[in-house]
Structure 1
Amino acid sequence: NGSSSAGEYDYDLFTIGAGSGGVRASRFASTLYGARAAICEMPFSTISADDLGGLGGTCVLRGCVPKKLLVYASKFSHEFEESHGFGWAYDTDPKHDWSTLIANKNTELQRLVGIYKNILKNANVDLIEGRGKVVDPHTVSVDGKLYTAKNILIAVGGRPSMPDIPGIEHVIDSDAALDLPSKPEKIAIVGGGYIALEFAGIFNGLKSDVHVFIRQPKVLRGFDEEVSKY
């Protein structure tokens, strides 16, 4: 709707949630349309909570990026095995240190958080840390401090949901699976979708004993037939 006159509101656009969508919308509003923009996000954490989140959102912190890093790590075990057919021999089998993988994964996430901060800074978008709540059509409260805006954008994304079933207190969600303090020797994965199978592949490659439980006769139901077949 264009920028408003200075003084009418604190900002033209106030975005709640600094994931990929919220960051992109805020910096485009500022750089392309000259809007006075601000964005709020909760403090960084590898596992989301009511008061924890972090710049980058699910994809960067608890989804695509950490998942790919663990996938890369898991692939090496297969390559070690295949290398014997190409003449490679080892006096001892390669050993994997889970704590090193997770520490380096979290270091990379912190680096990406820094990049996102610079992106917002360079776009002249104010970053406000805290949990944002909509008070009225033009007011946002961030941990009790009020900010006014001509437009409020909600870009909070989502968190894993846990069904209310017996035994749920014994399970973990995808957030926790990407940040376990130690590698599980045995793991049961309930579900046969692509995220479930990605985790199955990760832990299998890292030599955990993996069991996948599904209701249907095959995994990846509803996906490409050739993929689900093999």
Structure 2
Amino acid sequence: MDVKQYDYIVIGGGSGGIASANRAAMHGAKVILFEAKEVGGTCVNLGCVPKKVMWYGAQVAETIQTYASEYGFHITDTTFDFKTLKANRKAYIDRIHASYERGFDNNGVDRVYDYASFVNPHTVEVAGQYYTAPHILIATGGHALYPDIPGAEYGMISDDFFALDSLPKRVAVVGAGYIAVELAGVLHALGSKTDLFVRNERPLRTFDKEIVETLVKYMAESGPQLHTHSIPKEVKKMPMTL
């Protein structure tokens, strides 16, 4: 059995895995990192980074629609090209990926972009190759859960939002946390008719009460449409395109 020897193996190329691999290598360890998808983890690929790009796009849209004329800008063509925003978002993320790769190169961190599985407590197998180390870090992160209701497979999670190729005409966002609120706000500002459904009397229950009250008031005036005390029981696929 061909086995490659390392001092430290890192499984998962998100924020934690990247930092740990680089730091260990900087201290002289022979390090290899395994990542099944794209380096950067949720934040860079399917979280805060692409979300902020979308948020900036939404902010531009709101500024043009709400304030441009008051400052003397008379814009006649406000056509929004979703594909352009998505392409620029990808280009921004690609630059971050390249930065991570340079960091790995500078620190001497080896990497393999594939799934790793344990053979024993100190050995993993990747695509038929075995790797061993006295220390192995599991930094694989987590994943979203679908609600246990009929038709849940027709919905999408936040990961799927970033895979959209076009702006939906209408969206129902279910959830009261900051991710749901952010995405509902972005979709609404970009032009989707958006409804936000929360199970209690308000979203963001763990946030400052005055801030949330201000947000709820703003939603009532400008959208998205907020539906309180709303718990989905079933999702049905309708014969129409949204």
TM-score by shorter chain over 0.5:
yes
Any gaps of 5 or more consecutive residues in structure 2? 215-242
- The correspondence of residues 47-196 of structure 1 with structure 2, limited to 5 A, is 53-80=37-64, 81-90=66-75, 92-196=76-180
Which residue matches 1:30? 25
Shift of 1:9: 7.2
The alignment covers a number of residue pairs equal to 211
TM-score (norm 2): 0.84
Cα RMSD after superposing both structures: 1.4
Letter in 1 for 2:166: S
Contact 1:13 1:37 in 2 (8 A): yes
What stretches of structure 1 move > 3 A for 4+ residues in a row?
none
Query: Which 5+ residue runs of structure 1 have no aligned equivalent?
Result: 1-7, 43-52
Shift of 1:105: 1.1
* Larger RCO, structures 1/2 (Cα 8 Å, 6+ apart): 1
Contact 2:118–2:125 (8 Å) recurs in 1: yes
After TM superposition, the score normalised by the length of structure 1 is 0.88
Shift of 1:144: 2.3
In 2, the alpha carbon distance for the partners of 1:85 and 1:156 equals: 49
Q: Match for 1:124: what amino acid? A: G
Aligned to 1:40: 34
2:193 to 209, 219, 223: 209
The percentage of aligned residue pairs carrying the same residue is: 39
Q: 1:25 is aligned with what amino acid?
A: S
The answer on whether the counterparts of 2:12 and 2:140 sit within 8 Å (CA) in structure 1 is: yes
* Distance in 2 separating the partners of 1:103 and 1:195: 22
Partner Cα separation in structure 2 for residue 110 and residue 88 of structure 1: 34
The separation in 2 between residues aligned to 1:179 and 1:74, in whole angstroms, is 17
Check 1:9–1:107 CA distance in 2 against 1; reply closer, same or farther (3 A cut): closer
Aligned residue for 1:96, secondary structure, equals: coil
Distance in 1, Cα, partners of 2:102 & 2:92 = 16
| 1:62 Cα deviation after fit | 0.5
